[in-house]
Amino acid sequence: MADDSASLPVQLAATTLNDTVSSSGVPKAEFSDRVPIRAIVSRPDGGAGLSGQRVRVGGWVKTGRKADKDAFAFLELNDGSCPGNLQVIVDAAVSDLTPLVPTGTCVAVDGVLKLPPAGTKQKVELRGEKVVHVGPVDPAKYPLPKTRLTLEFLRDFVHLRPRTNTISAVARIRNALAYATHTFFQKHSFLYVHTPIITTSDCEGAGEMFQVTTLINEADKLEKELIKNPPPSAADIEAAQLLVKEKGDIVAQLKSAKASKEEISASVAELKREKENLAKLEERSKLKPGIPQKDGKIDYTQDFFARQAFLTVSGQLQVESYACCLSSVYTFGPTFRAEQSHTSRHLAEFWMVEPEIAFADLKDDMNCAEAYVKFLCQWLLDNCLDDMEFMADKFDKTCIDRLRMVASTPFVRISYTEAVELLEEAVKSGKKFENKVEWGIDLASEHERYLTEVKFQKPVIVYNYPKAIKAFYMRLNDDCKTVAAMDVLVPKVGELIGGSQREERYDVIQQRILDMGLPLEPYEWYLDLRRFGTVKHCGFGLGFERMLLFATGIENIRDVIPFPRYPGRADL
């Protein structure tokens, strides 16, 4: 059978861009009656070749103003399909201009595309013939004026910030990288696996995890219930017990007196009701506010999952189980770390891309990671250049050159020991680092950036790290001091990818878990992968937001994820 995998990206792209065509011949948006602004202004001729075509456009006003004594209005319209705006001119005879011009107003306009007067920067403009929709804005209350706003300010309006040029460009770049991720792995015959968000295993062994529990909610409900309906007192229970005894005596007397069947049945029914009432009172008397405990500890058997559960820090362990039967797999989803970190490189919720490859070793892992990063960079250059040009203009003049360099340059590969030696040489030559350089340290961001930005001026893969600073699942090397781990370091952000060959030997990984001070019980299922049909395998994780920082040149990770979660903030 012929291998048609190389054609997959084209097929996917064709499906995505399969726009219908309007009566004017201009590509029309799927499932909408409008023409995307991108289909007009992103043409090589800037849309000039569409002059005379009648179209409907919709979008949000970036800037608007009345002109010629309020005879008409200029609207700079953007619909999020591209960085560029379309200038729309609406005459006062067509519509009331006052609600159209405020920044943030949403309008849909039918009109004819025309060539603007000579000397203007626009290649084409829309002369409005009918305003079919207005989503008005009160300019006195709209929180995003047309003045330049800082990214820090915009974090207070995460629901509105996609309307800004920067955040909308980031959203398109993020979408492109996600699409490229699936394209790369599907092209190379990886199977996409959905791994759980809720887990009972700590992948990293660091213990900084968000716990998932309903015990607190249940305790709160119980406390409110007991305030509203207090538990019965001892006197209430004693009275109910006496009543049961009385009803029991009556039944006994009726039976000994050989009363009628109807009388005895009625009396037995009353006795039954009183016994049920007593049982309910006794059960309610046992209710106590607070989280249930057993032997002085929280009783997690009463929790929703009948044991402790957490938000995942990685899908790696679970996806390994699929690699051990399907060979090449990947997962791509949100992960969570409960670190009290306020740096520009950390989030409480972030996304990870984690492939896993069976019958593969550390060298294969490095080859895959390098190919993947290069593919992402080239994809942005080929499919998102207009947004990258915006980033180069507003944030980082070198971002496009950096993408080109990474996409076309072989990565340097050095051992951890060699990396430390290079850093020590730099210190001897007068380079000052805030973090001490010595064998056994976890390389800091400043060390990583020195290697990529100063020493080699290209991406660097560092491998064979000390076992003491790496996770339990990484394969122990023959020197018993290092593990078969690797990190891909890139300019601008430092570590972009962390990966390893996994420890497939049962006795070794069991001892590593114990050495890390972790309990064996939560990892018994993971050990089964080594007990039953063990296989050499490897994988890595790419921090998706870090890739966005690297690509765009934006400094803070909170500005490259739609709804950032970090200590003290979880808006929306």
> No. of H helices and E strands in the chain?
16, 20
Q: For 108-163, what is each residue's pLDDT tens digit? A: 999 999 999 988 888 999 999 999 999 999 999 999 988 889 999 999 999 999 99
In 10 A of CB 238, how many CB atoms? 11
- 364: Cα within 13 Å, side-chain hemisphere: 14
Contact 103, 62 (CB under 8 A): yes
pLDDT at 341: 85
Closest CA to 347 of 336, 358, 356: 336
Q: In CATH, what number does 20-147 get?
A: 2.40.50.140
What percent of the chain stands above pLDDT 70?
95
CA distances from residue 309 to 303, 348, 498, 570 in whole angstroms, order as listed:
9, 17, 25, 21
Contact 252, 322 (CB under 8 A): no
Instruction: Kindly provide the residue ranges of all beta strands, DSSP E only, lying in 225-326, ordered along the sequence.
Output: 293-294, 297-298, 309-311
Angle at which helices 362-383 and 399-408 cross, to 10°: 140
pLDDT at 269: 92
Average pLDDT over residues 362-371: 98
In 10 A of CB 256, how many CB atoms? 8
* Whole-number Å distance between alpha carbons of 300 and 302: 5
In 10 A of CB 287, how many CB atoms? 13
Q: What is the mean pLDDT of the chain?
A: 91
User: Three-class SS of residue 73?
Assistant: strand
Average pLDDT over residues 511-522: 91
| The pLDDT of residue 501 is above 50 | yes
Helix (H) or strand (E) holding 482: strand 482-490
Burial of 58 from C-beta contacts in 10 A (0-12 / 13-18 / 19+): buried
What percent of the chain stands above pLDDT 90?
75
pLDDT at 296: 83
Q: For 406-431, what is each residue's pLDDT tens digit? A: 999 999 999 999 999 999 999 999 99
Buried b (16+ CB within 10 A) or exposed e, 504-518: beeeebbebbeeeeb
Query: Per-residue confidence at 280, pLDDT binned at 50, 70, 90?
Result: confident
Query: Per-residue confidence at 29, pLDDT binned at 50, 70, 90?
Result: confident
Closest CA to 193 of 322, 26, 23: 322
Q: What is the DSSP string of 136-192?
A: ---TTT-S--SS---HHHHGGGTTTGGGSHHHHHHHHHHHHHHHHHHHHHHHTTPEE
Helix (H) or strand (E) holding 506: helix 506-515
What number of residues does the chain have?
572
Specify the CATH architecture of the domain 168-211+309-559.
Answer: 2-Layer Sandwich (3.30)
Q: Tell me the three-class secondary structure of 102-150, residue by residue.
A: CCCCEEEEEEEEECCCCCCCCCCEEEEEEEEEEECCCCCCCCCCCCCCC
Give how far the C-alpha of residue 256 lies from the chain's centroid of Cα atoms, to the nearest Å: 76
Q: For 31-65, what is each residue's pLDDT tens digit? A: 999 999 999 999 999 999 999 999 999 999 999 99
Q: For 195-238, what is each residue's pLDDT tens digit? A: 999 998 776 655 589 999 998 888 788 778 777 888 888 898 89
Angle at which helices 165-187 and 544-552 cross, to 10°: 120
pLDDT at 282: 87
Helix (H) or strand (E) holding 226: helix 215-228
Q: Which two tokens stand for residue 60?
A: 């949000």
Query: Per-residue confidence at 6, pLDDT binned at 50, 70, 90?
Result: very low
Strand partners, 543: 352
- Model-level pTM greater than 0.95? no
Q: 564 CB contacts (<8 Å, ≥6 apart)?
A: 155, 158, 347, 349, 557, 558
Delimit the domains of the chain by residue range: 20-147, 168-211+309-559, 215-302
Q: What is the DSSP string of 209-224?
A: --EE-SHHHHHHHHHH
Burial of 62 from C-beta contacts in 10 A (0-12 / 13-18 / 19+): middle
